[in-house]
Amino acid sequence: MIEQSLLLIKPDAVKKNHVGHIITITEEHGFTLKYMKVLQFDRESAAEFYMMHEGKDFYEKLLDFMCSGTTVALLLERIDAVAKLRELVGDADPAKRKPDTIRAMFADGVTENAVHASDSPLSAKREIGLIFKGGY
């Protein structure tokens, strides 16, 4: 079944000019780019987006990082988009990353991990609504 998923290209990858590379990789893996938005998270919007991590030890560092620069949001579609995108993105833990994943190619660490991908169809719907509220 065709699904939608959200991919955020985080400030570290944007600063290093990896946006085009990451989009190309998603397209080469069968994703269709439906919408794209360039944005700058403020503290409030980052806190709303990452509310599921509130109270965790990395939460404040994550918010600081996400507010540190430009983010590019992609609304992607394909069959089994959520699972396939998570597989393509790779693990947040550098020790667990497979070599041909986006994070293996472009991430600098655990927090500075180049991209975010929705982890479930329910999360995708919520996240797409937050990022693209008011339309595409």
Instruction: Delimit the domains of the chain by residue range.
Output: 2-131
**What tens digit of pLDDT does each residue of 74-97 get?**
999 999 999 999 999 999 999 999
pTM, whole model, 2 decimals? 0.95
Among candidate residues 21, 29, 53, 116, the one labeled active-site is 116
**DSSP codes joined into one string, 10-23:** -HHHHHTT-HHHHH
Q: Annotated catalytic, 116? A: yes
Of 20-24, 25-29, 108-112, least confident by mean pLDDT is: 108-112
CATH of domain 2-131: 3.30.70.141
Which tokens in the block code for residue 13? 């990858």
CB 56 within 8 A of CB 47: no
Which is more confident, 109 or 10? Answer: 10
